[in-house]
Amino acid sequence: MLFKDKKILIIGGTGSFGNAFIERLLTTEVKKIYVFSRDELKQHEMKNKYSDDRLCYFIGDIRDYNRLLMAFKGIDFVIHAAALKQVPSCEFNPFEAVQTNIIGAQNIINAAIERKVKKVIALSTDKAVEPINLYGATKLCMEKLFISGNNYVGDQQTIFSCVRYGNVIGSRGSVIPLWKQCEKNDSNFLLTDIDMTRFWLTLENAVDIVLYALGLMLGREIFIPLLKCVKMIDIAKTINPKRKIDIVGIRQGEKLHETLISSEEMKRTLDMGRNTLIILPDQSYFIKYNGGKFIGENAFKYSSNNAERLTKKELEEMI
C-alpha cells in the first residue's frame, strides 16, 4: 500500500539496483515510475525490456539542477542511486566524482525541497565509513548532506534518509562478472590481496532494505542491512577452484577490509531485528522507534574481517 497511486522517481535508474527495484515496483499499484539517467542506450534497452506504460524516462544529469527540477514535479518518492563509483576512476578523476557525488547530491536535495517531494532516500556504501579513497569520501559527504537536508525543509513534509550497504553480488562493474568473463576467455583471475574481505548482498536484499527504509523512515536516519562477509579468494574458488589466481597488490584507495558502522556511530545505532540496523542522528531519536535496542559500542563485529561469513552453500547460491 506504500506505493498505491504514488509517483516514484529513480535517479540512476538504469543501473543494476534500478532494474531490480523497478521489477519490484511493477508488482505494486504504483501510479508512475520515472527513470532519470544520462545513458540513452540503457534507457532504450530498458524500454525494450519493460512494456508497462507506467514507466517514463528522463535523460539528464544530476549536475543539472534545472533538469532535476523539471523531473521532480509531482513526484512523491525519490530514490537516489546515481554515482561515479569505480574507485580507480574516482582517484584519477577526483573533481568529476565531487561534481556528481557531492554537488549532484545537493542539487537533488534542493530540487526535492523546492518540489515538496515527500520522501527521499540516497544509496550509500560501506566505503563511506572511515574512508581512505575519494569515492568513499564523496559518499560520506553525500550522507552528511542528506541527513542535514532535513534541517532546511521548514514546515513542509519532505524527509531525507540514507541506506548504506556493501557490495552487490553480480552488479555491473563488480568482480564476479569480471571473473566470469575471465572464465570465458580462459585467462587467470586477478586478485589484489589474498586476505581481502568484503560485505556482500544480493540485489533482492538491496531492494528489501530500501523498501523497509521507505516505510519506516522519519528523516535523518541511515539504514543498514546486517550483512555477512566473504573472503574474495573464496569467491574466486567458488567460480572455479582450478583457475589460477594472480595476486596483483592492493590498488590506490583500496581497503583490505570494510566496515559497516564507525566506532563513533555505534552508540547511536539501533538493532531493529530482521537483520536491520538504524543509525540515529542522536540517542534522543530512540523514543520515536518501538522495539529497537542499541547495539552497544563493539565496532569490531561490524568489520568484514570479523562479521559472520557466508557459508560455501550460501556463496554458491548467490553466485
**What positions carry a catalytic annotation?**
127
* CA angle 167–170–171, rounded 5-degree value: 65
Chain mean position to CA 229: 16
* CA angle 161–108–168, rounded 5-degree value: 60
Around Cβ 48, how many Cβ atoms within 10 Å? 8
Say if residues 104 and 82 touch (Cβ distance below 8 Å).
yes
- Cell numbers of 295, please? 547495539
Nearest by Cα to 265 from 222, 206, 217: 222
Say if residues 200 and 176 touch (Cβ distance below 8 Å).
no
HSE-CB for 186 with a 13 A CA cutoff: 0
Say if residues 210 and 163 touch (Cβ distance below 8 Å).
yes
- Cell numbers of 221, please? 536516519
Nearest by Cα to 235 from 307, 296, 170: 170
Nearest by Cα to 159 from 22, 283, 288: 288
* CA angle 29–35–40, rounded 5-degree value: 145
DSSP 8-class letter at 248: -
